[in-house]
Chain A
Amino acid sequence: MKTIYLDNNATTPVAPEVVEVMLPYFTELYGNASSMHTFGGQVHGIIELARAQVAELIGAEPEEIVFTGCGTESDNTALMSAVESNPAKRRIVTTRVEHSAILNFCKHLAAKGYHTTYLPVDTLGRFNMDALLEAIDDQTAIVSVMYANNETGVIFPIAEIGKILRARGILFHVDAVQAAGKIPINLKKLPVDMISLSGHKLHAPKGIGVLYVRKGTRFCPYLIGGHQEKGRRAGTENVASIVGLGKACELARKELAKGTTALAAMRDRLEAALLESCPDAVVNGDRENRLPNTTSVSFEYVEGEAILLRLNEFGICASSGSACTSGSLQPSHVLRAMGIPYTAIHGSVRFSLSSYTTRGEIDRVIEVLPPIIRELRSYSPFGRDKFEQYLCRLDAARAD
């Protein structure tokens, strides 16, 4: 059975071109970039090339790019650096819908006595500017806001937030793990101090991330040891992955230049077909302003894990915000923050497409998902159809 992979916000396949450029660094080019000999030294040049490729994707200068181990490390480093380099400031402001790499690190800092403020979002998952203005003060060490949400794809007004924070002199970090490669980012025009990226979300391998640190930003390293990354992140460079990430960023830049309307159109077609064929289904989040590849649809009266495992039988990969898939008993913190009713959160399914997604794959989902929903609803003790069946039976009884 062919896999239909529609879970690209979880991770992406490594592009074949990326694999190809990486391979020599596992075999003949195994040198250490820090070595004095030419054999190791040649690796240094290739890392710098990759740095330039990453910088170009987001409109940064190469020296502003720090390679890390993953998006989580980048997020943790940004927050830690902010509080360490501003020891007098004790407040951290973020949102309720961040990734756990930010939320749990804030919890960790709160336990150390920092004040943390979690900004609310509205029912469409949109940023609340008034809440931000109310939350920030002279005590604020950093504001960390995601560029786009992993579950709903909703994009936050980063430029607008950055303008406010810049005027107040407050450090601004953006978790752009979901946005990079999916929408254009130009840091030349964006008033942001730090940005986190993750390789495996844009067709590079897992285990490589980036922290962009704007020139002139006070910075404290998180990993301490060797002089790598100009002392900003110790540890021997993950050369193969860095090279791969560089290539992936180059591919993403070319893909973005072609525009994302085709991808968005495919997503919209999937969404429209599901809403049409499944009654009591709704899209979660602001449809006007979100990533072109993401849709979160809630099907009332059924539970997300059951939907996913039925889709799995057809080789279709998606994810859900239901409690049963979260590993805890609480459903998605993002959908809860939006005030989506629990009934709808339990039945939420997220599809995230990529440039590799084909028309045929979308057709297949449109074909198999509605019958799955109908069948699972027929097992459910809840639902409108139950009520309608009951009315039908009443009618039939009356006709007799």
Chain B
Amino acid sequence: MWEYTDKVKEFFLKPKNVGEVENPDAVGEVGSIVCGDALKLSIKVDKETNRIVDAKFQTFGCASAIASSSALTELVKGKTLEEASKITNQDIAAYLGGLPDEKMHCSVMGMEALEDAILKYKGEKKVLRPEENIICKCFDVSEEKIRKTAVENHLKTVEEITHYTKAGGGCGMCIPEIEQILKDVWSVREIKERPVEKKKLTNIQKMALIQDVLEREIRPRLQADGGDIDLVDIEGSRVIVGLRGMCVDCPSCDMTIKGIEERLRDVTGQNITVVRE
């Protein structure tokens, strides 16, 4: 049972501003039904004053998602777009008297819907920049979002990042990358990373290394999700694997293969390709 504040309970049991504003000037949307929460925020803006005169929400999600969305609409009403754009996820959480750590992503969702709505109002479509690097494939979280959320909320651990953005909460394959990002964000960046020169591995060493990585890193993660992997053969730089269990018909098995490939390239320093048997 979550420890929700009375304010969260109040906004969940009797949410304010449910629905859609008639003829909205902008609609912000985030999340998806697959991820477990989604928010659609519609706003009405006074053209003269640039003030948000009305805001309504529709939310699919848990109690704190509904409460955060409702709190968001209360927060933005009467504010100018300029003022509203300064609202952070912490403001939403504070308005509700706080949220459990595990639920902070609900407040982040609120902030993102608002950003989306404001961007759309200004006619600037949020485009996925080509360089935007999606770290968490399960919940579609970009490197930029992880960095931003980490800095704004002083998050130092992967667990905290998961609570706030959901990143790393799915298959867990991206956890090492999140660790790297956090290291990067919080370490003084005076030492320029020097490419470490990798010694050329012998064939035997390479095979042992690949086998070790598959066994110790990859396999437990796949098994955690009911999947499994077998190393079938290694032919030069071609690593042939067999996906088992849940992995066989998993829609993201290509992602899994790609992820394994990247990891193997990283550890061996060779241009490995991973193929299914």
Contacts and interface: CB of A to CB of B under 8 A. Distances in A.
B partners with A: yes
Nearest to A96: B226
A324 B219 contact: no
A328 B40 CA distance: 24
Contacts of A329: 36, 139, 162, 166, 169-170
Contacts of A331: 36
A304 B2 CA distance: 14
Given A329-B36, A381-B59, 8 more contacts: A96-B226, A324-B61, A324-B62, A329-B139, A342-B33, A378-B19, A379-B18, A381-B40
A337 B246 contact: yes
A110 B57 CA distance: 46
A116 B166 CA distance: 29
A118 B226 contact: yes
B223 A346 contact: no
A343 B34 contact: yes
9 contacts: A107-B223, A110-B220, A306-B63, A322-B62, A330-B170, A380-B58, A381-B39, A381-B60, A382-B33
A120 interface: yes
A303 interface: yes
B102 A343 contact: no
A301 B60 contact: yes
Interface string A321-353: 011110111110100110000110010000000
A307 to B, nearest CB: 10
Nearest to B59: A379
A346 B63 contact: no
Contacts of B57: 379
A120 B223 contact: no
Interface string B163-201: 000100110000000000000000000000000000000
9 residue pairs, one from A and one from B, having the closest CB atoms? A329-B169, A324-B62, A305-B62, A381-B58, A381-B40, A96-B226, A380-B60, A323-B36, A342-B34
Contacts of A330: 169-170
- Of A96, A302, A380, A382, most buried by chain B (CB within 10 Å of CB) is A380
Nearest to A325: B62
B220 A306 contact: no
A382 B37 CA distance: 11
A369 to B, nearest CB: 16
Nearest to B70: A379
Contacts of B246: 96, 118, 120, 337
Nearest to B63: A309
A312 to B, nearest CB: 9
- Of A120, A309, A325, most buried by chain B (CB within 10 Å of CB) is A309
Contacts of A328: 169
Contacts of A379: 15, 18, 57-60, 66
